A and B are shown apart, each in its own frame.
Chain A
Amino acid sequence: MSETIRTLSLIMVCAPLLGSILAGLFSKILGRKGSHRATIGLMLVSLGCAIAIWILVIFHGGSYVGTIYVWGLSGRYHFDIGFMIDNLTAWLMIVVTFVSTLVHIYSIGYMADDDGYTRFFCYMSLFTFAMLMLITANNFLQLYFGWEGVGLVSYLLIGFWYQKETAVFGSLKAFLVNRVGDFGFIIGIAAVLTYFNTIDYQTVFANAQRLFDANTTISVFPGTHWSVLTVICITLFIGAMGKSAQMPLHVWLPESMEGPTPISALIHAATMVTAGIFMLARMSPLFELSQTALTLVLVIGATGALFTGMVGVVQHDIKRVIAYSTLSQLGYMTAACGASAFAAGIFHLMTHACFKALLFLAAGSVITAMHHEQDLRKMGGLYKYMPITYITFLVGALALSAIPPFAGFYSKDAIIEAVHNSTIPGHTYSYYCVLFGSFVTALYIFRAFFLAFHGKERIPADTKKHLRESPWVMWVPLIALAIPSTVIGALLAYPLLYKANSLFGNSIFVLPKYDVLKGMAANYHGWFSYALHAFITWPFWFAVSGIFTAWFCCWYMPNIREVITRRIAWFYYILVKKYGFDDFNQIVFAHGGRRLGQFFYYVTDAKFIDDYLVNGSGRAIQWGARMVRRIQSGYLYHYAFAMIIGLLVFLGWLEITDTHIGLFKLLTSNYFTVE
């Protein structure tokens, strides 16, 4: 069976690459239709393979770990391209290929009028290829390949409309901030190679316990002795902070909304940004052995979950609201991993992929209907023009707010509960963050919902004339995503999280002392009673009050918002300024880096080295030459005088040191050996 899985995996990974090459290099021959048919057809192949692998792995206990080809051999190390197909990968590849296929189809409608139509499909397929490489990797090299590959395509797609200044600025920022994360990530990989002597997952995981028992330390600063595993985990987590937009490396994600909306759904909500979460779960055998790292993960995640969500409340751009929501939800997933509930994190990743892609695509549907207007203040009352978009957006919003029995409820509630039950330092603070976060989540998403679809129509008159539901290529994916957003929570919560032998198999490793999900399993008695049970828990009522607040302020009594804003002007200002992260980065890193470069260039390089040392030696030689030239005056008496002086000095010197007589004789012997 493993051979079959290997073949299927190869096809699954390579099909999107082929699609990308076809759309990228042969778009002239294929044309627009040909390009999207080729890419979508190959995406369907990939999806089919993913489903086949999923069936083989989940239901027939299959797996595959092996090398595809040797990338490089050096000394005693080998770097390979290979696959590790286990339960975790199987679930993830379903998510990736499913969402990607739908977004491909959706883009036929969304990008219909764009000049870069074929380029867009090329990038999307390329992205899918890189993402699949990332999740199927069996070693850190390939992980890093996929990691950077998705980063590249993200960069290209954020700056897709390359003539738009904000878009290219956003793409550059995204790439640079991600690179800061990758900087940590590559140090982590280097540490793995140094201490495990390999970068293959299996060997690394197998030896992690041994390294832990040996209490190996590294002296990063003189006099300090840090556990190697902690250093490895924290540096790897820095990579995850970049890719999964955790504070303080979250600043690129809101800017990424400058890209086309299908991309926001695929890359910046469903798949790429969750790569960090996937990595945490994949590395669970390492993270479990470092409580320090887990604490860091938990606290960073929970902080992000609350504070980035609050910024979402003051945004006016519909996509930015959802972007901040993504930041907040990624915080939830990270916090889950920090609380050792990796399964809950991955489960939330899956449900989130469905409902967040749904929200983005629905928002995209609104945006195209509104002729690329994204400002919520110019919408309102849209429900009667676009009913399908309206309903599906509502489904997404309910799922996001964790209202039972929608998908988000099962995953998010598990996370909040897991953080609550965790024993890792920092869990109390984190619990309050994620708990209050559920109020904020409901508030911002329903604020956007009411502002866009209900209340007074604030739509410009000329837009209103063309306002209608989007074409079928766009709403079919909406419905296709609304269904799982509703049901997968109830369907999968038990087998993934609470069942004794969960569908994640052995792919996630949790130490018994941290296993919070196991404790929660005792209280789980089927999806229905769990949903009912929600009515007596805090998170549910926080969410409901969030919806109520949104309804009250945005639909029932819209004018009250101004009053509130005035009352807490200072707080509002902080939120609008996004806690000052952007300004800080702009001043310190962007501006400071440029200034430092200019100093190095104009002062050290050009002035000191080049002007002073290099040209200075040139000038010194010229000066010397000028001086020497003066001596050569051309007057015979000058020369005669110099000769006499010279001869006198020479003879005087010989007188003083008669030891040199021998030398003198030697020198003159040629002339005086006549006898």
Chain B
Amino acid sequence: MTTTFPLLSVLIWLPIISAGVIMMTGGDENANWARWIAMVASVIGLLLCIPLYTHFDVNTPKMQFVENFVWIKAYGVHYGLGVDGISMPMVILTTITTLVVVLASWTTIKTKVAQYMAAFLVMQGMMVGVFAATDAILFYVFWEGMLIPIYLSIGIWGSANRSYASIKFFLFTFFGSALMLVALLYLRIHSGSFAIESFYPLKLSMIVQIFIFIAFLLAFAVKVPMWPVHTWLPDAHTEAPAGGSVVLAALMLKMGVYGFLRFSLPIVPNACQQLDWLMIVLSLIAIVYIGFVAIAQTDTKRLIAYSSVAHMGFATLGCFMIYLIVKATGNIADAYVSLEGAMVQMISHAFSTGALFVGVGVLYDRLHTRNISDFGGITKPMPIFASFMMLFAMSNVGLPGTSGFVGEFMIILSSFQGNFWVAVFAASTLVIASAYTLWMFKRVFFGQVVRTEIAALKDISALDTMAFTILAAVVLLIGVYPQGLLRVLHASVGHLLQLAHVSKL
């Protein structure tokens, strides 16, 4: 549907302009101004998502809310925006996440508040841009552009080892993206246009496809992150401020999987099919091996970071199981479950893990430690907080009724159709995820209160409660009624599945 109102542009530029306004409020003496402007901007963003959802036509895989202008004429670069069923939920996810970040940082960030809020608003704009761009160069600009605010947020508001973490994060992700740019330029030369959709019908030989696949893989695998290029994530998470961790987990990791869906599968389907075993093995390593690594963690944030990697393993597994499934059953309709499961897993992970990071941020703000062994008996002084955390922990272990269940369930069920053992390894997460999540929960929240600081804690503030309530509502809503999300995905996933099964040789 083409509307006259440039909804997507507004969603991109409104937060960025608001960020500019916030910067003008000056130093920390006007911190409340900065907070309120950020709040208003993010609430408006969220409200604008209502027409995005209601006016979205779920019956077509076509791009909607399309905007297209020539940007750089000499090279044929367009300012092209549009969303389909895959990117629309991601845009909404972005705006919700920003609101949560603003709420969660309201009191915890005390220095350079205006800059902090501005950074996250810019990030929101960039993220929406990534998900809405239909032009490869515009996509690339947003893709790289969003590194800057997150790099700054770790480098400025992070904890002790922040400079190592931020440079590691930057180099890792930048290294991958450079190769992606080469691949995009190669595709541009052959298709004659930077429009992403113009890459889809290109005929490419197998060897070229494999090179392009690898270039994309390096860019996206770092973001997801997949084993073995995941080690930047625990460091970045640990050092980042709570808001940064939330954005990293909820949004940045999703860009990787989104890339697989938007670029790898439709542009180089033969290479994907050829190398799907590699992706499946890497995903299973993420699920099983990283799960065990998470058990060994002594730092709450690091544990949740590793659990993120394991959960994203499910998303990538869901994306690349489609070939095995179709091969086994001979019916392309069977692969829907797997791919839609991957989408649901991404969105669900954003909320449950994001919430857990906010929770760790709350504890860090009060006790200035992240070590599991420094906690114990938090439930006693903070029962409401503990109840929220229990809900998110349960979503993390994939309990039915929470969003965490939906994706895992769909992916395990459909991967069985492809291969028995893949399903068995994937399902092992039922035990492993509950081991690391609930063991941590036990050590942090249960037991005797041994430290006097813990006994003196007060329960969470109204603002935190509000942030948690939003997250909890979404977690439960998706868990109880995933159809609300699945119906949006359907047409686009079907289109993608077809593209992924067209031979381009």
Contacts and interface: CB of A to CB of B under 8 A. Distances in A.
Interface in A560-611: 593-594, 596-598, 600-602, 604-605, 609-610
Contact of A186 (B295, B331, B334, B409): B409
Q: Which of A163, A218, A605 has the most CB of B within 10 A?
A: A605
A186 B433 CA distance: 15
Nearest to A156: B390
Contact of B482 (A71, A163, A168, A190): A71
Contact of A172 (B228, B442, B486): B442
B434 A594 contact: no
Nearest to A140: B413
Given A73-B490, A77-B337, A175 B434 contact: yes
A640 interface: no
Given A183-B427, A187-B423, A597-B295, A148 B333 contact: no
B417 A163 contact: no
Given A162-B445, A186-B430, A601 B416 contact: no
Contact of A72 (B228, B231, B380, B482): B482
Nearest to B394: A152
Q: Which of A69, A72, A77, A175 has the most CB of B within 10 A?
A: A72
B401 interface: yes
A163 B450 CA distance: 11
Contact of A159 (B406, B446, B481, B486): B446
A265 to B, nearest CB: 24
Interface residue SS majority, chain B: helix
Nearest to A143: B400
Contacts of A627: none
Contact of A71 (B380, B427, B434, B481): B481
Given A152-B394, A594-B296, A186 B427 contact: yes
Given A165-B448, A180-B431, A186-B412, A600 B289 contact: yes
B427 A594 contact: no
Interface string B162-187: 00000010000000000000000000
Interface in B403-439: 405-406, 409-410, 412-413, 415-417, 420, 423-424, 427-428, 430-431, 434-435, 438-439
Q: Which of B333, B416, B445, B447 has the most CB of A within 10 A?
A: B416
A168 B446 contact: yes
A187 B421 CA distance: 10
B449 to A, nearest CB: 8
A599 to B, nearest CB: 8
B292 A596 contact: yes
B379 interface: yes
Given A168-B442, A187-B424, A601 B293 contact: yes
Contacts of B490: 73-74
Interface in B299-344: 331, 333-337, 340-341
B483 interface: yes
A131 to B, nearest CB: 14
A413 interface: no
Given A175-B434, A610-B231, A613-B228, A162 B335 contact: no
Nearest to B413: A190
B377 interface: yes
A149 B431 CA distance: 16
A156 B442 CA distance: 11
B198 interface: no
A179 B430 contact: yes
B379 A162 contact: yes
Contacts of B409: 141, 144, 186
B31 interface: no
Contact of B438 (A71, A172, A594, A605): A172
B190 interface: no
Nearest to B288: A600
Contacts of A74: 336-337, 340-341, 410, 486, 490
A73 to B, nearest CB: 6
B447 A76 contact: no
Given A187-B416, A190-B416, A600 B292 contact: yes
A180 B435 CA distance: 11
A229 to B, nearest CB: 15
A669 interface: no
Interface string B341-371: 1000000000000000000000000000000
Interface of A: 69-77, 141, 144-145, 148-149, 152, 155-156, 159, 162-163, 165, 168-169, 171-172, 175-176, 179-180, 182-183, 186-187, 189-191, 193-194, 218, 220, 593-594, 596-598, 600-602, 604-605, 609-610, 613-614
10 contacts: A74-B337, A148-B400, A149-B400, A168-B447, A176-B431, A176-B434, A176-B438, A187-B427, A193-B413, A597-B294
Given A168-B447, A190-B412, 14 more contacts: A71-B481, A72-B410, A73-B486, A77-B336, A145-B400, A148-B401, A162-B379, A163-B446, A163-B449, A172-B439, A186-B412, A186-B413, A190-B415, A604-B289
